Chains A and B, each alone.
Chain A
Amino acid sequence: DTGVSQDPRHKITKRGQNVTFRCDPISEHNRLYWYRQTLGQGPEFLTYFQNEAQLEKSRLLSDRFSAERPKGSFSTLEIQRTEQGDSAMYLCASSLRVDTRGETQYFGPGTRLLVL
């Protein structure tokens, strides 16, 4: 399967613990996005990368959240000192940016986080 993959698919943690999620995009895609989705809501933008450069972060993103894409391939999203409000589905998407117009994003299956 050459789609976007995410690991783990499910994560249960206790409040105050750190968690890290991984996203492997479609291999030739240069853009990678992270979103958070809560029940009954649409995906909420967190941050995105073009190659290894992090181009934009949501103003809503707490400083407990950090993302990296060290070699322009896979990406990790870390949440430090988790809170119950962090419980959500974390989605990764990738796309191939060729010009300044919008391009198709392909989403992974998501990582469902539950903070107890």
Chain B
Amino acid sequence: QQQVKQSPQSLIVQKGGISIINCAYENTAFDYFPWYQQFPGKGPALLIAIRPDVSEKKEGRFTISFNKSAKQFSLHIMDSQPGDSATYFCAASAGGNQFYFGTGTSLTVIP
């Protein structure tokens, strides 16, 4: 059973546009929600993370929106650039133990 469901599977955005990736979860014990960026042949790298005590966190062009009641969280990439083209994974953990990852979103930013 997929603990974290991620959509869409792929996304194509024009340069300068907004990229939005969504994740949903069921386990209400999850208390840490990171987003990772992965380039081909590389390991995932942490982009931004949020805890459920806040509804939004922004770092540069990256924003996480968190809806605790709906058990959903999303990543927004503002002013998307070709260099943002990568695979993005959401993840969740409870008490910082086992981490569950989504299936990934392949983002392509067209110049």
Contact = CB atoms under 8 A, between A and B. Distances in A.
Given A40-B103, A41-B104, A102 B43 contact: no
Contacts of B96: 95, 97, 100-103
Contacts of B97: 48, 55-56
A110 B43 contact: yes
Interface string B90-106: 01010111111111100
Interface residues of B, number: 26
Task: Kindly name the residue among A33, A103, A105, A110 whose own CB sees the greatest number of chain B CB atoms within 10 A.
Answer: A105
B45 interface: yes
A102 B44 contact: no
B31 to A, nearest CB: 6
Contact of B99 (A4, A33, A55, A100): A33
Interface string B25-43: 0000001101010000111
B101 A44 contact: yes
B66 interface: no
B49 interface: yes
A91 B44 CA distance: 9
Contact of B51 (A95, A101, A104): A101
A108 B43 contact: yes
Nearest to A3: B43
Interface string A45-74: 100100000011010000000000000000
Contact of B93 (A40, A42, A102, A109): A102
Contacts of B51: 101-102
